[in-house]
């Protein structure tokens, strides 16, 4: 539903996030951590243990997924909805995003 740019904007709006770094390939992580002086590398808990080697250069935090929210289930449900309905849902989500931004300000 959201492009990378929109998702990055949502994450950037969180008070605990200083910078969102676009990933172009898997090999750039070490370079980015050093280049941007990253203190904490956060990634979903479904990757638990996969990035432990980064602990030598920053703290690796595996974030739990939001309970009862599945991207796979969401994609399946959205594939059954027509474009007009998707745009209506997106508009509602955009309103929520605007509210979050207002609260953060």
Q: What is the per-residue pLDDT for 103?
A: 83
The pTM (predicted TM-score) of the whole model is: 0.60
Tokens 């690796």 label which residue?
Answer: 60
Q: What is the per-residue pLDDT for 51?
A: 96
**CA-based nearest residue to 98, from 18, 16, 10, 2:** 10
Mean model confidence pLDDT for the chain: 87
Tens digits of residue pLDDT in 39-75 = 999 988 989 999 999 999 999 999 888 777 777 787 8
In angstroms, the CA 35 to CA 31 distance is 6
Q: What is the per-residue pLDDT for 3?
A: 83
Task: Give percent of the chain with pLDDT exceeding 90.
Answer: 35
Q: What is the per-residue pLDDT for 72?
A: 76
> What's the distance, CA 35 to chain centroid?
21
**CA-based nearest residue to 55, from 38, 36, 75, 77:** 38
SS3 41: strand
In angstroms, the CA 65 to CA 43 distance is 10
Q: How many residues does this entry show for the chain?
A: 105
Confidence bin at 34 (pLDDT 50/70/90) = very high
């Amino acid at each position: 539903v959201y492009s990378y740019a929109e998702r990055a904007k949502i994450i950037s709006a969180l008070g605990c996030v200083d910078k969102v770094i676009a990933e172009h390939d898997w090999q750039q992580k070490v370079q980015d951590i050093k280049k941007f002086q990253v203190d904490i590398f956060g990634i979903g808990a479904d990757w638990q243990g996969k990035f432990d080697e980064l602990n030598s250069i920053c703290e690796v935090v595996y974030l739990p997924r939001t309970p009862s929210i599945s991207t796979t289930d969401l994609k399946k449900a959205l594939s059954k909805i027509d474009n007009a309905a998707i745009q209506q849902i997106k508009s509602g989500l955009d309103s929520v995003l605007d509210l979050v931004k207002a609260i953060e300000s």
